[in-house]
Amino acid sequence: MAETEPQPEQRVGFVRRIGLFQATAINMSQMCGIGPFVTIPLMVAAFGGPQAVIGFVAGAVLALADGLIWAELGASLPGAGGSYVYLRQAFQYRTGKLMPFLFVWTAMLFIPLGMSTGIIGFVQYLGYLWPDMTQAQGDVTGLVVIALIVGLLWRRVEYIAKLTVVLWCVMITSVVLVILAAFTHFSPERAFTYPAGAFELTSNHFWIGFAAGLTIGIYDYLGYNTAAYLGAEIKNPGRTLPRAIVYSILGIMSIYLLLQIGTLGVIDWKQMLDPASTASSSVASAVLEEAWGKAAANTVTVLILITAVASVLAGLLGGSRVPFDAARDKVFFRPFGRLHPRHRFPVLGLVSMGVLTSVGFLIGRHTDLATLIQLLTTVMVIVQALAQVLAVTVLRRRQPALRRPYRMWLYPLPSLVALVGWLVIYGYADENSPGRHPIEWSLAWVAAGCAAFLLWARYEKVWPFGPREISEEYLRASEAGAGPDADPEADPGPKEPTPV
């Protein structure tokens, strides 16, 4: 009896069930979350005044340029793990499995660090409702919330996608209420009165502040790529992923600008620099209290807390998929490649991300949020962001026949804009975190990853201790007329690599 061809779910384990609206909601839930509610004071501190709105505009430009890179890569290589797939396909020809290994190595750090900032923001806003909360009580509360989020993710992805849409609606409601409250009590004089030298472009102080603001801005936009990590679970990814990325960036950009300007029109920016002020730790609650009173502030603060949970839930949902594809391809520890037998999600990926998020949360609680943002950004830039800028060009040259349902607009301009933006963030990191040395820590982490790769490669007998293994499954699928846009359910799945 002839063997039947395995179906996609049997072959890969993931099923394409997430549509455009759900993918966009997942992105926006991860992007908006608690971020802007806790970083507006940080942005004001970086720029030294209400000209801080420049940081959100600059962050949007960088997010859109980088988002177009993700759109092209995600549409043509719609596998589980996002950047892991893109770097594996682009850099396998010269350095074997080094780049995908390093990406997973760094992602296992910077994704949980990013999620831990959301929990830190949750505890900050909870402090508005619970003013007598001690440091220890805040720590325990954050850890319990992380455990609850992991519990919510312990189910099939289609149920999570539906839950994410509900949480997305809560997020939109909370943001809209803050914006409405701000503009009903808006003072143009307060929002647009700038301190002397605010736009002195020849000053090094301005550019240090700009780099810090750009770092905070792009941190607030991070998440526009979350759906790309779920590429193997997206319906019609060649069309859905680019649209979800662009729609989510444009939508969040509009929200952030209204939120930032509205807040500055209600709260004196100098109050945001006072650590003892509510405007410093819970600026949105301060806006609501000033505009509509304490009861309204309490209600919207609850919605903001739900928004924070939605953000972390979406981030851990996507992040838990990162090591899965690597483990399936034998580029990471094999237990990460196992799915839950019933609910079909990566068990070890989810658990490990939850544990590391807890560790990052405790570190941030006992240092400061700005330092944690700086650390996670520098680690992300050096392996993921800069490498993907190069990956688009490498793949266009190495795999010109690869099916590309979406091609980057105005190529290579967005790549150049993204490259400059990421280099500015990285180059000024030490100056914006004096005494913390984020550049040195990021280099040390990557160096440790290179050492771990050499040990792993020697054990597995792969490059540089064996032949390079070239795997062009997406290219072969394109040449066979079965690209991701041709068959929405198609996923090439793991293929036997060709030794070179």
243-256: per-residue pLDDT in tens? 999 999 999 899 88
Biggest CA–CA distance in the chain, Å, is 83
Question: 56 with 217: CB under 8 angstroms?
Answer: yes
Report pLDDT for 98: 93
List pLDDT tens digits, range 195-230. Answer: 888 888 888 888 888 999 999 999 889 889 888 888
Neighbours of 325 (CB within 10 A): 28
Q: Residues 445-483: pLDDT tens digits?
A: 999 999 989 988 888 888 999 888 888 888 888 776 654
The whole-number pLDDT of residue 114 equals: 86
Q: Which amino acid is at 474?
A: Y
15 in Cβ contact with 344 (< 8 Å): yes
C-alpha 264: how far from its chain's center?
26
DSSP state of 3: P
Q: What DSSP element (H or E) covers 136? A: helix 135-152
pLDDT digits (tens, 9 = 90+) for 354-382: 999 999 999 888 887 777 888 889 989 98
Average pLDDT, the chain: 85
Beta bridge mates, 423: none
**E strand or H helix that includes residue 470:** strand 469-470
Q: Using the predicted structure, report yes or no on whether residue 415 has a pLDDT greater than 60.
A: yes
2: Cα separation from own chain's centroid: 46
Please determine, for residue 7, whether its predicted confidence score (pLDDT) is greater than 80.
no
pLDDT digits (tens, 9 = 90+) for 164-179: 677 778 878 888 999 9
Q: Where does the pLDDT of residue 9 fall: very low under 50, low under 70, confident under 90, or very high at 90 and above?
A: very low
Which tops the pLDDT comparison, 320 or 132? 132
Which residue ranges form the domains of the chain, and what is each CATH number? 15-466 (1.20.1740.10)
- Count of other CB atoms within 10 angstroms of residue 162: 12
> Which strand (E) or helix (H) includes residue 499?
strand 498-499
* Residue 429: Cβ-neighbour burial (10 angstroms; 0-12, 13-18, 19+): buried
The closest of 172, 72, 120, 83 to 367, measured between CA atoms, is 120
Per-residue pLDDT of 41-83, as tens digits, reads 999 999 988 999 999 899 999 999 999 999 999 999 998 778 8
pLDDT at 169: 83
Report the distance separating Cα 312 and Cα 144, nearest Å. Answer: 13
Query: Exposed, middle or buried, 201 (CB in 10 Å: 0-12/13-18/19+)?
Result: exposed
Report pLDDT for 54. 92
